[in-house]
Structure 1
Amino acid sequence: MIDPDRVLVPTLGRPHEDEALSYALETFPDAELTLLVVVTPLDAPLSEGGVLERDEQRTTQARASAEELLESVADPDATDRVRIELVEGRPGTVVPRYTSESGIDHVVMAGDRTRLNGFIRRFLGRDIATTVVERTAKPVTVLE
């Protein structure tokens, strides 16, 4: 595989996203990274935090969380090659769209480590990582 020039690491406010960012930074040391903060709309069936807050507060908090994530994972020399972008929408839709529209070469994301049983999985639908893999034309690495 040829090393990608542009790597996307979507963040949804879920556990283990620090591992995805660390992996991307270490595996692709010459790539430009985009930390894509996906803020789920309030009218979605489930919001990312389960707490419904005003849109402005949610986006401010999401950006602050992404900045904290970046500071906790990346050494200061690596932060200059990571930019933070915010988008609102359903992750299974906005991540593939952003990937194709922004010239991203590779996606690295945390998987859903909760091993939901069949009934709950059918009720909630597929996990986000599976949806992103199926809808993205570029390679996707999912860290389980």
Structure 2
Amino acid sequence: MTDRILVPYDGSPPSADALEYALETFPDARVTALYVVPTPDGYEALFENPEDRVPVVDAADDRGRDILDEARGLAADRGADLETEIVTGKPDHEIVDYAAAEDVDTVVLGSHGREGVSRLLLGSVAENVVRRSPIPVVVVR
């Protein structure tokens, strides 16, 4: 039985498709939409003081909250409740780490997201999540 579903959500059409799939396929599950504020390698080292990061992080968190508000609206239109979370880091790592830490049963994600160049079949984040995840991953195209 699948009780906990994680849907990485970035506001792209594939992530919306994944959310819709999760809500329809697992109507009794607890679904969480996860927005990852992406940080490039070495990002933290650019700032000597943590205070220097605040405006950038706050703006990214605000954007994430707006995107997750859209996800909540999509769920509400289907009569479903949706939990949301925002984390910061490398998207593929954060998705897998969050799923493991929160005892998620299945990850449902879009085949590619808003950022970067998509590959022939899978975006790089989706491919890395599929490769790294110790739990089942459903990729929605």
Could you state the TM-score of these two structures normalised by the residue count of structure 2? 0.78
SS for the counterpart of 1:39 is strand
Q: Using the aligned pairs only, state the percent identity.
A: 34
From 128, 131, 142, the counterpart of 2:128: 131
Given that 1:109 and 1:143 are in contact with CA atoms closer than 8 Å, whether structure 2 keeps it comes out as: yes
**CA distance, structure 1, for counterparts of residue 87 and residue 33 of structure 2:** 11
In terms of fraction of residues, the more helix-rich structure is 2
Where relative contact order (Cα < 8 A, 6+ residues apart) is larger, the structure is 2
In structure 1, what is the equivalent of residue 62 of structure 2? 60
Contact kept in structure 2, 1:22 and 1:74, CA below 8 Å: no
Tell me how far apart the structure 1 counterparts of residues 132 and 78 of structure 2 sit (CA, whole Å): 34
* 1:62-119 CA distance string (max 9 Å, x none): 111111122034436312xx100000011111111111110000000001286647xx
1:70 to 45, 49, 72: 72
Deviations 1:28-49 (A, max 9, x none): 01100010111102x449xxxx
Letter in 2 for 1:143: V
Give secondary structure in 2 for the equivalent of 1:104.
coil
| 5+ long unaligned stretches in structure 1 | 46-52, 118-125
* Runs (4+) off by over 3 Å: 12-15, 113-117
* Contact in 1 for aligned 2:6/2:31 (Cα 8 Å): yes
Q: 8 Å contact 1:5–1:30 — kept in the other structure? A: yes
- What is the CA RMSD across the aligned residues, in angstroms? 2.4
Aligned match for 1:26, one of 13, 24, 27: 24
Alpha-carbon distance, 1:57 to partner: 1.1
SS at 1:141's partner residue?
strand
Q: Which runs of 5+ in 2 are unaligned?
A: 43-54
Q: Report the Cα offset of residue 13 of structure 1.
A: 4.3
Pairs aligned (count): 125
Q: CA deviation at 1:19?
A: 0.6
Distance (Å, rounded) in 2 between the aligned partners of 1:116 and 1:104: 27
User: Could you say which residue in structure 2 is the equivalent of 1:49?
Assistant: none
Q: In structure 1, what residue type is equivalent to 2:99?
A: T
